[in-house]
Structure 1
Amino acid sequence: MKRAYMRSLTFLVFSGILKVCELCPSVRASRATKFVAEGGSLQLSCEVQHCGLSGWTGGWVFQESDSLKFTSLIPSERIGTSNSSSTANSTHLSLHIHNINQSDAGAYKCSINWPQKITSSGHVTYVNVTAAAADSSGRSLSHRVLLCFGALMCFSVVLGFVWCLTRDRHPPPPPVPPRTSFAAGAKPKKELVYAEVAMNKSRRQNDPPKQASEPTVYSSVRFS
């Protein structure tokens, strides 16, 4: 039991020593690739795990796209660096670049020199500078003016069209029902017309008149 306990305790102590050795001293940074538009800004950060050690130096280094060597970044009007201690064992190094141009494209990383003449570097961040975005302020203003003008014109046209439709337009009077005439609507009665044609013998001037005999009807004409 004692031997097993001693072995487990030794293993834990050895693991702790290895973990401390891995963290101190070291530089922690994420590997990434960033695309920044020309004229924009860039912000990077890394964490230096020094575990309370002093005397370390270094900071951000930069490698151009067509170069094989990293050079230290010198602060300027466009490039700014800052250090902030988050805990007693670590310090954050920040990098700010304003108004980026094509010369800022390349690789960035943190490089730290320890007192034991040991150098530690964080992961590399690759920065690609793209073409500058088109200035949308003037374009958006012109678009707004055109939209307002078009809306005003459409409103004027619609208002004039409605006015033309409603001008001097009154509802027509109700239609007058046609007058009906019973006399006009009544059908005429059919009348029977008879015609009699009678032929008498001519008589002499001196002959006395004779009693007229009944006329002979030869035809009858009917009109409808």
Structure 2
Amino acid sequence: MYTYLLGVICFVCIFQAGLCAEECQLSILAKRDMDYVPEGDSLSLSCVVQHCGNNWTAAWMWENSTYDFRKPVKESERHHLTNKTISASQTKLFLNIQSVNQSDEGSYGCMVVWDTGLTENGHRTHVNITAALITGPSPRKLLHRVLICVCALLCLPIILELARCLSSEVKPQPLPRAQVIYEVPYATQPTILAPQPPPRCPVPQKCKAYPPKAPPKVKRKPEVMYAVISQGALKQQRATRQPAQSATVYSSLRFDNP
């Protein structure tokens, strides 16, 4: 039983090894393509060589657009050739071109020479060199901006005139104002009373005049005071009398004839 299982396992391993050996074929894995590169940019191309562990040599070939001239691409300041091993049976070739120009336009492809002496060419990539890109604003865009600004300036007076006409046609109606009556209170003027005479003073004594008092609120009738003063007392009073305050004195003089 164990011998039978061991034989089956060995058969399966040998069969898979044979299939793997048959699947590995010498070829160039590349596809036909077309690239458009602006002048001054860089270009990178690649292709995979399936050599299955055999000896081989490869090179990049360039052909012009009319397909009447062909030459190998050599290492230079702008052209860089590199290889990278992917597996034991495959290797990837790279071609990098710096700052492309019109002379780089054409078809590029890999050419492999096998150890048997056979030569094989892979699918080619056609490269078209276009004009350099303009980083600044294009003249067309600049012209569009200028036209937009000019149209805006021309339309501004028209818009202002329309706004003025609409504002003049629609006049706001004044709102009715409420009539307000203001009542100013007038203070009642006090009644001015006539000054009252000072009280009667005896003849020998000095008569002092008192300042008038504030008029009372109650209206009183004016009183008239009469005094009898002799001539001698009048002279004595004039000699000793001090300046009196402003007052109104009513008096009556009577002279007796001897």
Q: Sort the TM-score into its range (normalised by shorter chain).
A: 0.5 to 0.7
Query: Is 1:104 aligned to residue 101 of structure 2?
Result: no
- Ranges in structure 2 where 5+ consecutive residues have no aligned partner: 174-258
Q: CA deviation at 1:92?
A: 1.1
Could you say which residue in structure 1 is the equivalent of 2:31? 31
Contact 1:37 1:100 in 2 (8 A): no
- Ranges in structure 1 where 5+ consecutive residues have no aligned partner: 175-224
Query: Is 1:92 aligned to residue 89 of structure 2?
Result: no
SS in 1 for 2:93: strand
Could you say which residue in structure 1 is the equivalent of 2:77? 77
Q: CA deviation at 1:125?
A: 0.9
Query: Is 1:46 aligned to residue 47 of structure 2?
Result: yes
Structure 1 residues 64, 86: closer, same or farther in 2, change over 3 A?
Answer: same
1:50-65 mapped onto 2 (5 Å cutoff): 50-52=51-53, 56-65=56-65
SS in 1 for 2:19: helix
Structure 1 residues 18, 51: closer, same or farther in 2, change over 3 A?
Answer: closer
Structure 1 residues 121, 44: closer, same or farther in 2, change over 3 A?
Answer: farther
Q: Partner letter of residue 17 of structure 1?
A: A
Structure 1 residues 103, 48: closer, same or farther in 2, change over 3 A?
Answer: closer
For 2:19, which of 11, 15, 18 is the aligned residue? 15
Identity of aligned residues (%): 22
SS in 1 for 2:74: coil
What is the rounded CA distance, in whole Å, between the counterparts of 1:104 and 1:29 in structure 2? 23
Residues 115-170 of structure 1, C-alpha deviation per residue, up to 9 Å, x if partnerless? x344453522141536x3475545x3433433333333333333322322334743
Q: Which has the higher contact order (CA 8 A, sep 6+)?
A: 1
For 2:145, which of 144, 148, 158 is the aligned residue? 148
Q: Partner letter of residue 78 of structure 2?
A: R
Could you say which residue in structure 2 is the equivalent of 1:124? 123
Residues 194-221 of structure 1, C-alpha deviation per residue, up to 9 Å, x if partnerless? xxxxxxxxxxxxxxxxxxxxxxxxxxxx
SS in 2 for 1:18: helix
Structure 1 residues 161, 64: closer, same or farther in 2, change over 3 A?
Answer: closer
Could you say which residue in structure 1 is the equivalent of 2:156? 159
Q: Partner letter of residue 48 of structure 1?
A: V
Structure 1 residues 7, 120: closer, same or farther in 2, change over 3 A?
Answer: farther
Count how many residue pairs are aligned between Structure 1 and Structure 2: 164
What is the rounded CA distance, in whole Å, between the counterparts of 1:70 and 1:162 in structure 2? 69
What is the rounded CA distance, in whole Å, between the counterparts of 1:137 and 1:36 in structure 2? 18
**Bigger radius of gyration among the two:** 2
Q: CA RMSD in A?
A: 3.9
Provide the TM-score with structure 2 as the length reference: 0.48
What is the rounded CA distance, in whole Å, between the counterparts of 1:110 and 1:13 in structure 2? 30
What is the rounded CA distance, in whole Å, between the counterparts of 2:111 and 2:116 in structure 1? 13
